[in-house]
Amino acid sequence: MVTGRTFEALAHERRRQVLRILRTHDQLSAGEIAAHLSISRPTLSGHLNVLKDADLIVGERDGTTIWYRLNTSVMEDVLYLVFDLMSKEHTAVTRVEPLPCDRGASVPEAV
């Protein structure tokens, strides 16, 4: 399910990098992800927690290792939502007029 947390998590470039890395691997440990990104484990841990809270990744413990993988169903939900928002049948405004300042007109000064 897509929530505000989903988009908050996606807003940070480093977290998007984590998702890109996980997209190309079945699963990775935090240490392996940190090595790909050249960041410390504590820094990565914070990003992984945000991604888990947003349900974008899943962590599965195997002994002392947690293996992380993409939650593809939530990623698909994000894509469907964006495509739906861009669909012409659901677009309330099909053409936006430029603002006066974008057309070269002067903007009145505040009083």
Residue 76 lies in a domain: yes
Q: What pTM does this model have?
A: 0.73
Q: Is residue 108 included in any domain, yes or no?
A: no
Separation of alpha carbons 13 and 9, rounded Å: 9
Number of domains in the chain: 1
Report the CATH number at residue 66: 1.10.10.10
The residue range of the domain holding 20 is 4-90
Q: Is there a domain that residue 105 lies in? A: no
Inside any domain, residue 78: yes
Nearest Cα residue to 79 out of 56, 109, 97: 56
Residue 95 domain flag: no
- φ and ψ of 10, to 5 deg: -75, -15
Which pLDDT belongs to residue 111? 47
Per-residue model confidence as pLDDT tens digits over 45-95: 999 999 999 999 999 999 999 999 999 999 899 989 988 888 876 555 555
Residue 54, classed as helix, strand or coil, is coil
Q: Is residue 110 part of a domain?
A: no
Condensed to tens digits (0 to 9), the pLDDT of residues 1-16 reads 888 899 999 999 999 9
